[in-house]
């Protein structure tokens, strides 16, 4: 899972330093994937990035961790980690990782990226969750090579989001995203790793659905598809190992 997926799914995001790690075996390690080892880990909380109600100063959790390149048990003690987890009911201080990849080696860069994701997601101006594509249409310009495509997106809360692609002869195509009813001429393409970028890169399908351009002339529908590919190329991979949108992750 991508960091943004993990951050948005977690109830608790914390930085911890491991003070003890016990290798679990036999029945306690049932279902561990090849190349991994299961540990019961205890650590001291250095910082709580997100978590309603807080957590104790010392926490414990179970983690499946990759073996070293030499196929030896990894050394977890004294490691500084980022945990993306949920609290275990009726067990104060016990956490459950939301995914096998939800225990991450801490770095200042990763911490800052996580804080930015959570800050953006909780802002009043946070972009909505994109669920699909509505109508798309292309209008050719007055000279060859000139044209404009507008693509209207479907969102979980019905807030408007649209993509605008403009082409002019002798120039690279320019595409922007508008969050609102009116297309914003001053808008820009989202920067990589921002929440808006994630909402688009990890949700948009590999091609425009046929019904989104069903009312377009064949040449206009083809131009809209080409402009849509420009958008996908500009977004790049969303970083997931498996993409739910049909595009390579």
pLDDT in tens, 188-230: 899 888 889 999 999 999 999 999 999 999 999 999 999 999 9
The per-residue pLDDT of the chain, averaged, comes to 91
Whole-number pLDDT of residue 132 = 95
Cβ(47)–Cβ(60) below 8 Å: no
Mean pLDDT, residues 115-129 taken together? 90
Measure the CA–CA gap between 33 and 36, rounded to whole angstroms. Answer: 6
| Model confidence pLDDT, tens digit, residues 7-41 | 999 999 999 999 999 999 999 999 999 999 999 99
The domain segmentation of the chain, as residue ranges, is 3-122, 130-235
Among residues of the chain, what percentage have pLDDT more than 70? 94
Stated pTM of the model: 0.74
Q: What are phi and psi of 24, to 5 degrees?
A: -95, 140
Nearest-5° Cα angle at 18, 12 to 19: 130
Q: Are 6 and 97 in contact (CB under 8 A)?
A: no
CATH of 3-122 among 2.40.50.140, 3.40.50.300, 2.40.50.120, 3.40.640.10: 2.40.50.120
Q: Given CA atoms 244, 113, 10, 84 in this order, what sign does their dihedral have?
A: positive
Contacts of residue 30, defined as CB under 8 A and 6 or more positions apart, other chains included, come to none
């Amino acid at each position: 899972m991508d960091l943004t997926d993990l951050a948005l799914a977690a109830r608790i995001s914390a930085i911890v330093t491991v003070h003890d790690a016990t290798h679990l075996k036999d029945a306690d390690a049932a279902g561990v994937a090849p190349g991994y080892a299961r540990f019961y880990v205890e650590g001291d909380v250095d910082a709580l990035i997100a978590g309603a109600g807080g957590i104790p100063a010392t926490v414990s959790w179970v983690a499946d961790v990759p073996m070293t390149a030499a196929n030896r048990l990894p050394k977890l003690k004294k490691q500084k980690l980022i945990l993306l987890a949920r609290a275990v009911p009726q067990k104060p201080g016990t956490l459950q990782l939301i995914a096998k990849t939800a225990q991450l080696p801490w770095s200042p860069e990763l911490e800052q990226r996580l804080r930015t994701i959570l800050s953006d997601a909780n802002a009043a101006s946070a972009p909505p969750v994109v669920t699909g594509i509505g109508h798309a249409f292309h209008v050719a310009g007055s000279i060859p090579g000139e044209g404009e495509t507008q693509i209207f997106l479907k969102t979980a809360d019905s807030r408007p989001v649209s993509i605008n692609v403009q082409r002019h002869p002798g120039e690279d195509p320019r595409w922007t995203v508008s969050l609102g009813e009116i297309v914003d001429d001053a808008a820009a393409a989202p920067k990589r790793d921002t929440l808006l970028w994630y909402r688009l890169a990890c949700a948009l399908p590999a091609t425009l659905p046929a019904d989104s351009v069903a009312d377009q002339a064949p040449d206009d529908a083809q131009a809209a598809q080409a402009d849509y590919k420009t958008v996908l190329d500009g977004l790049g991979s969303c970083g997931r190992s498996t993409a739910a949108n049909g595009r390579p992750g």
